[in-house]
Structure 1
């Protein structure tokens, strides 16, 4: 075994041990609960746009994008656009590296890989900021409910012809909405790629943390994931990602397509 493979093996073993450490898991949930009261996830940005994600999940997404090298990333939930910008920047980097390896000149005006964002309310100031960002050339947006049949049809039409697709679900966090999103968009996920469901951590949070929201314990993205997996064996939870991150808003949410 070469040095790199040995290092990667040790990392997996370390992460698995952390995942099996019940005391560490308890401390992690406790920390997330307390930090959430201070809106910790609002503190970060991606290439100048607020991203409203934990740094650990940001790192996880860039690792997945680099490993999968998707042609298309579909994201429900846009907010300030930070996640769209992050995804687009990773796709731009992939195309740049491909051009360097092939000894060709990259034409940034003709991006091959794209990001599609869907949101029921793309606020004008956010839309303007996204459309004037240097990464705007590879981003498209659709305004409307992600579970509206017309929107679903538009997204499926857009996805035609793309071979490697990664999906990210981060909009309305109720059980019914996320389950409907999974039924609509998870099938677009290509083999060995991921459908990432964010904010599954709501199941582990106290109900008083979301007094003005329609979701909570027993009604959230994690319960939707569990329900979806009952009838969709082509997906499985990637526990290695959970073990590695520890601190994440998406425990049980990194769904890998295996069939």
Structure 2
């Protein structure tokens, strides 16, 4: 066994222990609840654009994209475009390292604001990015996305738009099957189910009606996916507990 393999095995054991540590989980939950009141996840950028993610999940995305080497990343929810640019930049690094040369990111959003579109289209990573404006659940949008994914060797799906149960479940039914074996369908903001009940008084989602309840519902009928617990156990601080869904068959 090489030194690198031994290091990875040690890390795997440590990650398992962290995942089993109830006291650590409680401390993490307490910290996240306090930090979220300060809109912690809104304060980071990737290559000059707001990314609106925890740094821990950003690193997890980098690891997944580098490992899976998709030639298409499908993302619902665009906002300021930081996540599209993040994915595109890792695809660029993959290409430099022998990965797919023409890999693309496809972003879908019901409202791509003009200033955000302009900033994304002017970005150095823009050549790897295309966008569709429309509801991710609309039949014409679903059809356009599926057409874009046709024939792709490896596809990664990231769901991060409207976080209600019904909307996320509709997205999962529309797009999850585009995920290739060994890749992931990542359902962001499953953490809503674990947050205080008054955390989203100005949103249509909350406890009992969110991305995690949708993912649980979806998994009951789709054994081709499983939750990759190693990711959340490693991150500890994540907006996607039980949301890193790996396609295993």
The residue matched to 1:84 in structure 2 has which SS?
helix
Aligned with residue 214 of structure 1, among 204, 227, 232:
204
Aligned with residue 189 of structure 1, among 175, 179, 184:
179
TM-fit CA distance, 1:126: 0.3
Aligned to 2:140: 150
Aligned to 1:172: 162
Aligned to 1:198: 188
Q: Distance in 1 between matches of 2:247 and 2:101?
A: 26
Aligned with residue 221 of structure 2, among 227, 231, 234:
231
Q: Distance in 2 between matches of 1:216 and 1:160?
A: 35
TM-fit CA distance, 1:68: 0.3
TM-fit CA distance, 1:2: 1.2
TM-fit CA distance, 1:111: 5.2
* Structure 1 residues not aligned, in runs of 5+: 100-109
TM-fit CA distance, 1:225: 0.5
The residue matched to 1:116 in structure 2 has which SS?
strand
Aligned to 1:118: 108
The residue matched to 1:242 in structure 2 has which SS?
helix
Q: Distance in 2 between matches of 1:204 and 1:32?
A: 10
Aligned to 1:127: 117
TM-fit CA distance, 1:97: 1.5
TM-score by length of 2: 0.99
TM-fit CA distance, 1:30: 1.2
The residue matched to 1:75 in structure 2 has which SS?
strand
Aligned to 1:243: 233
Aligned to 1:31: 31
Aligned to 1:45: 45
Deviations, residues 177-211 of structure 1 (Å, cap 9, x unaligned): 00000000000000000000000000000121111
Deviations, residues 79-134 of structure 1 (Å, cap 9, x unaligned): 000000000000111111218xxxxxxxxxx9510000000000000000000000
> Contact 1:111/1:137 (CA < 8 Å) preserved in 2?
no
Aligned Cα RMSD in Å? 1.1
Deviations, residues 21-44 of structure 1 (Å, cap 9, x unaligned): 001111111111111100000010
> Contact 1:173/1:199 (CA < 8 Å) preserved in 2?
yes
The residue matched to 1:152 in structure 2 has which SS?
helix
TM-score by length of 1: 0.95
